[in-house]
Amino acid sequence: MAGFLAEDIAAGRVTIELEPGELAYATVRIVESFVHTPAITGGAPDPGQNARVLRALLR
């Protein structure tokens, strides 16, 4: 994940104020939380929600 972010930063597709590894870690943790939605909230998993949240954070 950090490698993909570093490539996007180098290509000018992403501008961040964090180290790629920091953002990669946070991104993976967010994704994990949506994968475990049934255990955390009892709700159904919603891959679309995961994508919407990440898109909003990575603008």
Answer yes or no: is pLDDT of 1 > 90: no
For position 25, what pLDDT does the model report? 94
pTM: 0.71
Give residue-wise pLDDT tens across range 14-29.
888 889 899 899 999 9
Average pLDDT, the chain: 88
Q: How many CB atoms lie within 10 A of CB 20?
A: 19
